A and B are shown apart, each in its own frame.
Chain A
Amino acid sequence: ELKVEQNPLFLSMQEGKNYTIYCNYSTTSDRLYWYRQDPGKSLESLFVLLSNGAVKQEGRLMASLDTKARLSTLHITAAVHDLSATYFCAAANTGTASKLTFGTGTRLQVTL
């Protein structure tokens, strides 16, 4: 059974500094997704990573995928308050891609 773990679970960030969230998954998965959830809101798709070595960037967020290490990272550059939210990674079982298994979520809080 595919398991997805994120760390840290909570990250208090100072504005202007850089941070990384890690997402490990337990079995082979050839696609990895990152989502953002604001408190009391829905989930918003951020990135879809489809191959080993894939890197995607949007603003201050950059996501990468290493399928050999079964690891994805979400790097935050020069954190700003607007990035405060909970971030989820999700992996799909190869061959049954309609079933996304979500990580535990990482709650980011950016402080001045």
Chain B
Amino acid sequence: DTAVSQTPKYLVTQMGNDKSIKCEQNLGHDTMYWYKQDSKKFLKIMFSYNNKELIINETVPNRFSPKSPDKAHLNLHINSLELGDSAVYFCASSQNQLLAPLHFGNGTRLTVT
């Protein structure tokens, strides 16, 4: 029944490692997103894909690379992890780019030590 699911829920890793977060939605939505929530709860968009096409790429270090193999999946790969990457990463989807609200996954808490 889960609408937007992301794995893993928790990720603890050391600086310099490479890690991936996976996201899948079963809502039939066209648009998927990655948001980052920092320790102060501030939410900022990182990437947005519409039908597998990248449409938003915010000022994010190129160590972060999203990949959308199909419109139901949007994965996030992070190279050479840094302490400042520690945050909660939320995947979200919406029916289209215009009016629909976002449906969020449960988040992945990334801790870099």
Contacts and interface: CB of A to CB of B under 8 A. Distances in A.
A44 B44 CA distance: 16
Given A45-B103, A48-B99, A50-B99, A100 B45 contact: yes
A22 B97 CA distance: 26
Contacts of B104: 42-44
A31 B48 CA distance: 18
A82 B103 CA distance: 21
Contact of A98 (B40, B41, B48, B90): B48
Nearest to B98: A97
Contact of A104 (B42, B97, B99): B42
Contacts of B102: 33, 43, 45, 100
B31 interface: yes
Contact of A86 (B41, B98, B106, B107): B41
Given A33-B101, A45-B102, A86-B41, A98 B94 contact: yes
Interface of B is mostly: strand
A25 interface: no
Contact of B56 (A98, A102, A107): A98
A99 interface: yes
Contacts of A90: 43
Interface in B32-60: 33, 40-45, 48, 50, 55-56
Given A98-B31, A98-B56, A99-B56, A45 B42 contact: no
Interface of B: 31, 33, 40-45, 48, 50, 55-56, 90, 92, 94, 97-99, 101-107
Interface of A: 31, 33, 35, 37, 41-45, 48, 50, 86, 88, 90, 96-102, 104-105, 107
